[in-house]
Amino acid sequence: MLIPNPQSNANQEFSPETVVRRYDDWAASYDEDRFENSYGRYVHAQEERLLRRWLASFRGGRVLSLACGTGRFMEFASHGLDPSHEMAAVARRKHPAKTILVGCAEDLPKHGLSFNAIFCLHLFMHLTPSLIAQILEVCAQCVRPGGVLIFDLPSARRRALTGFRPAGWHAGNALTHPQVQGMLGERWRIRHCRGILFFPIHRVPSRLRTWLRPLDDAFSTTPLKHGASYLIYCAQRLP
């Protein structure tokens, strides 16, 4: 089944199976390619800070890293789930004490598990709005009331402002804040929303980064955050 990618300038189509195959092929060098450069190190640090803060009250609880990939941030999770056997294998090697399952986010209820919190980073950018809505729905079934769901999405506002057009299979989708609110529906309340990368910090010389970082942080908590590259949400499951 091919799913059209509505935001892609190239108007290419990528099936969910193709995305998983790409990650199977990429698994061995994924960490190095994505996170051992100035862009990767910066976003990793920003995301880590938010996870540490938003998951603080769930430490020691049942926390799922959905689309756990190679196990980045498994230190915050008790369980991981990813449909790519190769990505999951890397995660298992790095975190042998954690439960890492193979499967798609949309099939989560099949595992019969419930969680205090789920975090899902760098996945929704690949998916169509209907699949994202489906995953939000299954997360609502598997997160206990009072628990949280943390996820990120490229900002459609930023893409409209900058004229950015994704090319290829990676990060093809973006949503506006009202679209995200609409998809979360009645079962979730947005508790926090932060922008990541208002400025292209990873592209400026490192001596300037020291000055830009606090400014980037400050903008990313104001309404200007919708102009950041992407947004991270923390939504609470309502009773």
Interacting residues with ligand SAM (CB under 6 A) = 16, 19-20, 23, 67-69, 72, 82-84, 87, 104-106, 121-123, 126
Least distance from ligand SAM to the Cβ atom of residue 177, Å = 21
Nearer to ligand SAM, 68 or 89 (CB): 68
* Rounded Cα–Cα distance for residues 148 and 158 (Å): 26
Which residue has the CB atom at the shortest distance from ligand SAM? 69
* Rounded Cα–Cα distance for residues 214 and 212 (Å): 6
Nearer to ligand SAM, 105 or 228 (CB): 105
How far does CA 79 lie from the centroid of its chain? 16
Least distance from ligand SAM to the Cβ atom of residue 215, Å = 25
Least distance from ligand SAM to the Cβ atom of residue 103, Å = 7
Those residues with Cβ within 8 angstroms of residue 125's Cβ, 6 or more apart along the chain or in another chain:
152, 153, 154, 170, 171, 172, 173, 174, 230
Nearer to ligand SAM, 15 or 222 (CB): 15
Nearer to ligand SAM, 146 or 168 (CB): 168
Residue 51's SS3 state is helix
Determine contact, residues 135/118, Cβ cutoff 8 Å. Answer: no
